[in-house]
Structure 1
């Protein structure tokens, strides 16, 4: 099992890594085993043959790039747009972002904003539906692989009409330096600037899509960062804090960050699958045994979300809820 990094150190090592790749079209029992092993060993994996239409993905990426290409004055008119500041506690990064709730009324709201393209709402809606179904499918495969009798024990939480799931666009500027002989080259890992600092995702599951530009790094042990190469054919999936609790520590929510270590703009679109605010976060009974007693206190997503917003990047929030 991996041990998540607590914080960055001045003696970091950079060791590239290849994440497991799970083909969702493979035989089901094989898929469930691969997903469980990936979540235990890495907390991250890539999925291919995921069923989200290429056209849906392409339109979403085009809409994102078009938005970030707008003048700053227009972007700042949207209350859900942010630049450099991350959270409410002084964290900063070399990033601009757009954060959207995934409920239909929230998405429909963009139809009435003059500086947002008319098809933005429909594009976001189609993409959100696709990645939500993918997240639910993966969560049900996880439950099956863990031997949970109720296959929807995890997915039911993000299928709820009052789910607190969100969609986040992150846009990172390039580093243009002497290593960039042209815009298609990437500099060495030694030339890095943190775009989004050390953190774990607080929700249940993240479905991440990025353009074909590197930047994501995960930390499987303290002081070591493992760059993850982007795969244009795949979605990157990672375990969130809530899923670590709901699997009673079988799966680990791993610390990760993003660096702007390329000569091209990087944009990622992350779907964060979250439960309703009043949902109690507890593992299914089968995950708690005399040999593996319950590791975490019972809490609601609202309680955990409040803690998340009160802490800075790099601080392990989940440790506050250990018994």
Structure 2
């Protein structure tokens, strides 16, 4: 499924490359949501990695396969057709350019709001059929994944011994929740591998600003996370499970106890990678600050801010920037 235009390598100088390791990290926490000890394992994973894999997640297989089929159909279309759904402003189809600050990657994507009132009419002229097909696939998938994300957040609250079990999940369930959904496609580019043994960076290193991110991809490698020592490790692909990231907002709400994981995607030179990411965000007016019940006499590491303020600041930054830096409290010397 090679669907991006194939310009000469020198025309792609803005897209960084790196060597793709063939060694996968075996220490990724795997959390079985059906087990009684999952809440404590989830807390440990969020503290050590800010990242984990969940199994027995309860998301119906048909929801996953239906949406992946729709995504593959869309990304297989000619570029001229896909561009009818763009440019992303902020929602819609994008190609190589990520955001408005000069970040680029070997990726094409659809960025969608989870708001049920989102207008899919732009897809009608592309598919030549009713846009209800892709709308229903996205809605069904997001509903199931959000339900699972909320279960994870409530287990985390239990594990942290927070009395209000829905302290995190209520922000995703709120009718005004500012959550978004993204479909990414990283096409293969075998010529690059043949020329210099490198792969394109599909999506550069960054943290996610929201509360929680839920990722599922096809069985193609490419996802990497940064460990505490700064080393990058490759995550083994698993098309039947979900990978979950701690976001910046959850890091703040736990006063730094949970870590927002820095991650990136390396495009596979031989196989297409299709990923689906649900970014669970709070309402725009929600105040983000460390929870008093988790402070235990500690000082807050962060200034209070609204999600709107943080989102506005984050989207003005480059991908690799430390987005929370502006909101950290500087200790008195």
> TM-score under structure 2 normalisation?
0.86
SS in 1 for 2:199: coil
- 1:313 CA drift (Å): 1.4
Residue 266 of structure 2 is aligned to residue 259 of structure 1: yes
Partner Cα distance (1:127, 1:114) in 2: 23
Instruction: Identify which of 279, 304, 317 aligns with 2:310.
Output: 304
Partner Cα distance (1:163, 1:143) in 2: 19
Residue matched to 1:63: 70
Residue matched to 2:111: 99
- 1:221 CA drift (Å): 3.7
- 1:283 CA drift (Å): 2.5
Partner Cα distance (1:10, 1:320) in 2: 30
In the alignment, is the contact (CA less than 8 A) between 1:111 and 1:121 conserved in 2? Answer: no
- 1:21 CA drift (Å): 0.6
Give structure 1 stretches of 5+ with no counterpart: 1-8, 181-187
Instruction: Identify which of 156, 168, 184 aligns with 1:142.
Output: 156
Residue matched to 2:136: 122
In the alignment, is the contact (CA less than 8 A) between 2:20 and 2:198 conserved in 1? Answer: no
Partner Cα distance (1:277, 1:153) in 2: 16
SS in 2 for 1:45: strand
In the alignment, is the contact (CA less than 8 A) between 1:191 and 1:261 conserved in 2? Answer: no
Change (3 A) 1:111 1:137: farther
- 1:231 CA drift (Å): 1.2
- 1:306 CA drift (Å): 0.7
State the number of aligned residues.
Answer: 303
Instruction: Identify which of 24, 32, 38 aligns with 1:16.
Output: 24
- 1:262 CA drift (Å): 4.2
Partner Cα distance (2:18, 2:272) in 1: 28
In the alignment, is the contact (CA less than 8 A) between 1:111 and 1:120 conserved in 2? Answer: no
SS in 1 for 2:126: coil
Give structure 2 stretches of 5+ with no counterpart: 1-15, 87-91
Instruction: Identify which of 113, 127, 133 aligns with 2:124.
Output: 113
Residue matched to 1:183: none
SS in 2 for 1:84: strand
- 1:191 CA drift (Å): 2.9
SS in 2 for 1:81: strand
How far does the alpha carbon of each residue in 1:2-39 deviate from its partner, in whole angstroms, 9 at most, with x for none? xxxxxxx9999967313111011112xx0001100011
Partner Cα distance (1:110, 1:225) in 2: 41
SS in 1 for 2:84: coil
Residue matched to 1:202: 209
- The root-mean-square deviation of aligned C-alpha atoms, in Å, is 2.3
How far does the alpha carbon of each residue in 1:211-245 deviate from its partner, in whole angstroms, 9 at most, with x for none? 00000001114552101011122100010000000
- 1:71 CA drift (Å): 1.1
Pairs within 5 Å for 1:7-86 = 16-18=24-26, 19-27=28-36, 30-79=37-86, 80-86=92-98
How far does the alpha carbon of each residue in 1:187-211 deviate from its partner, in whole angstroms, 9 at most, with x for none? x9x6322010010001000000000
Change (3 A) 1:84 1:112: closer
SS in 2 for 1:76: helix
In the alignment, is the contact (CA less than 8 A) between 1:12 and 1:223 conserved in 2? Answer: no
> TM-score under structure 1 normalisation?
0.89
Q: Which has the higher contact order (CA 8 A, sep 6+)?
A: 1
Residue matched to 2:322: 316
Change (3 A) 1:222 1:92: farther
Partner Cα distance (1:315, 1:144) in 2: 32
Change (3 A) 1:95 1:111: closer
Residue matched to 1:175: 189
